[in-house]
Amino acid sequence: MTNNLPRFRENPFVPLGLLLGGALVIVGIIGSWTAISIKNANDTLTVTGSATENVSADSARWTLTANRSAFAAGVPGATEQVLADAKKIARFFTAAGIPATDITVGAVHANQDYSKYSNDPNAPTSYIVSQDVTVTSNDPKLIQRLSQDTSSLTNQGVMLTSQDPQYLLSDLPQYRISLAGAAMQDAKARATQLVKDSGQSVGRLRSASTAAVQVMAKDSLNVSDYGTYDTSTIDKTVMVTVRATFAVN
């Protein structure tokens, strides 16, 4: 039988017990059902069930990189400029109310700039001198607002590149557990609906497995067999899908 949920190949499914930390957790979620296989099966019905929840990221990570280009002889001077720029970036964060303990300043790197590669063996070698300044915060909206306007830094002459902020869920394991139970209930409801006009009834759960967890942009349907984890948006939808086999009486 078919349903409208995305089809999952066999390999992406792992035992539901691994997701929930053991069969005792499964029993706690689905009551009298069981995830163990039963020998000498009669008729069975396999269905998929899913559960979703709209959530918001509760942490964010963002990196700004101070960088300067220089030929070999100019690397020391470029290094001094990068160090000064990195300090300005750090002050940009602290001025926004982010504690200094949440700001990490990386090491200075000087790497050859291969984009300016020349076939002339006598051409001077160009380098890019850079230093990362990374901020972590439990206020994703603040990071979002800061990332939308760095003109106060560029107006000071800071040369920088900006990575996209990453918006994260620190309590994803909790959603995996709670949604697995809800997805199992959905699977049983679907099985019950499928057999209700046949004079049969859905019996005990024979086996169950879960697909990779999907963390998508809110209301998105961008799922993957191997799971997705959207970090580009604050508002997200978490989805857990299970495949369950029930005895049919």
- Check which CATH number belongs to the domain holding 19 and give it: 3.30.110.170
pLDDT of residue 7: 41
- Co-location of 152 and 86 in the same domain: yes
Looking at the structure of the chain, the number of domains it has is 2
Number of other residues whose CB lies within 10 A of the CB of residue 197:
7
Which residue range is the domain that position 79 belongs to?
A: 59-167
The answer to the question of residue 6 being in a domain is: no
Last residue of a domain, one of 106, 139, 167: 167
* Average pLDDT score over residue span 171-184: 90
Last residue of a domain, one of 167, 191, 224: 167
pLDDT of residue 175: 87
Using the structure block, give the residue that is written with the tokens 């020998």: 39
* Average pLDDT score over residue span 63-75: 95
- Co-location of 174 and 51 in the same domain: yes
pLDDT of residue 6: 41
The answer to the question of residue 157 being in a domain is: yes
Whether the full predicted model's pTM is greater than 0.85, yes or no, is no
pLDDT of residue 33: 35
- Co-location of 49 and 63 in the same domain: no
The answer to the question of residue 5 being in a domain is: no
Confidence of residue 125 (pLDDT cuts 50, 70, 90): confident
**Of 30-34, 42-46, 97-101, which one has max mean pLDDT?**
97-101
- Co-location of 238 and 202 in the same domain: yes
Confidence of residue 42 (pLDDT cuts 50, 70, 90): low
- Co-location of 75 and 155 in the same domain: yes
What type of residue sits at position 239? Answer: M
- Co-location of 53 and 174 in the same domain: yes
* Average pLDDT score over residue span 103-126: 85
The answer to the question of residue 3 being in a domain is: no
Tens-digit pLDDT profile for residues 162-173: 999 999 999 888
Cβ atoms of residues 159 and 68 within 8 Å: yes
pLDDT of residue 14: 43
Last residue of a domain, one of 138, 167, 196: 167
- Co-location of 178 and 244 in the same domain: yes
The answer to the question of residue 2 being in a domain is: no
Q: Give 35-44 contacts, CB < 8 A, sequence gap 24+.
A: 35/205, 35/207, 35/208, 36/207, 37/206, 37/207, 38/204, 38/206, 38/247, 41/206, 41/247, 42/247, 42/248, 43/200, 43/247, 43/248, 44/206, 44/245, 44/246, 44/247, 44/248
The answer to the question of residue 184 being in a domain is: yes
Give the three-class secondary structure for 246. strand
pLDDT of residue 212: 87
pLDDT of residue 176: 87
- Co-location of 64 and 161 in the same domain: yes
Strands 214-217 and 228-229, bridge-based pairing? parallel
Confidence of residue 118 (pLDDT cuts 50, 70, 90): low
Confidence of residue 196 (pLDDT cuts 50, 70, 90): confident
What contacts 237, CB < 8 A, 6 or more positions away? 52, 53, 54, 55, 214, 215, 216, 217, 218, 219, 220
Number of other residues whose CB lies within 10 A of the CB of residue 21:
12
CATH of the domain at 89: 3.30.70
* Average pLDDT score over residue span 93-98: 96
Taking the C-alpha atoms of 192, 195, 201 and 202 in order, what is their torsion angle to the nearest 10 degrees?
Answer: -50
The DSSP code for 102 is G
* Average pLDDT score over residue span 153-162: 95
Residue 241 pLDDT greater than 90, yes or no: yes
pLDDT of residue 165: 98
Tokens standing for residue 129: 């001198």
Of all residues in the chain, what percent carry a pLDDT higher than 70? 82
